[in-house]
Structure formats: C-alpha cells, structure tokens
Amino acid sequence: MATDEPNVSFGDVSHSTFAVGSHAQAVSHHGTAPQRDQAAEELLKAVRELRADLARVRTTDQTAALDTALADTETEITSTGQATPTRRERLRELLADSQALLTVLASAGAVAGLVGL
C-alpha cells in the first residue's frame, strides 16, 4: 500500500456545493426563491387555475399543447420569478387558437387577459 497518497477529508457539507475531479462542475441551487412581482403572481395564479380547469375537459391536441405551455410557464415563474416575453407570446398564440375554450372556461379568459390577448 502506498503511503504517499494525498489525504482528503470533508467536514460538514450541508448547504454546500463542490465538485471533485479535473472535469467536475458544480452548480448550486441553494438560496431563496426568486422574487415575483404582482403581475407574475397574478399570472401564476391564473395559470394554475386554468390547468386545474383543463383537467376537467376532454383532452384534445389543442388542450394538451396548452397544458404543456401552462406547465412550462408555471415552472419558469416559480424558478425565475417571471415569464419571459417569448413564453407569454406562446400562451397568447395557443389561447387565440382556443377561442371556444375561452368562452367556456373563465380561467382561460383570465390568463388571456394577463398575457395581453
């Protein structure tokens, strides 16, 4: 057994980010949640309500695409604190294509209004 090997010891590593090795990378996801402004909070609430309402209607290609976009929007708002203009534009397009849905679900109208449709 070789005795010239370096010694490495780790103490308490809770709430720490580190990487070991020549090509290792460390990414930290610790910290506080991103701050959301009032508009982002309102959009997040409306997105969640519409997703819940969509679960109650018959699934079509349109409603599935809308639900996917809403899920992506929810994830983006909760992880970054905002929905990017591109994300809002995608929702506008999908909601414009779902005019019949807007008349049936009040929550669809709320999201449409918040993304500027």
Tens of pLDDT, residues 35-51: 889 999 999 999 999 99
Percent of the chain topping pLDDT 70: 74
pLDDT at 85: 95
Q: Which of 68-72, 86-90, 99-103 comes out lowest in average pLDDT?
A: 99-103
Q: Are 47 and 111 in contact (CB under 8 A)?
A: yes
Q: What is the dihedral of CA 77, 81, 85, 91, to 10 degrees?
A: 20
Tens of pLDDT, residues 1-28: 566 777 766 666 666 666 667 776 766 6
pLDDT at 78: 94
12, two tokens: 């308490």
Percent of the chain topping pLDDT 90: 39
Q: Which of 23-32, 52-61, 76-85, 103-112 comes out lowest in average pLDDT?
A: 23-32
Quickly count: other Cβ atoms within 10 Å of residue 109's Cβ: 17
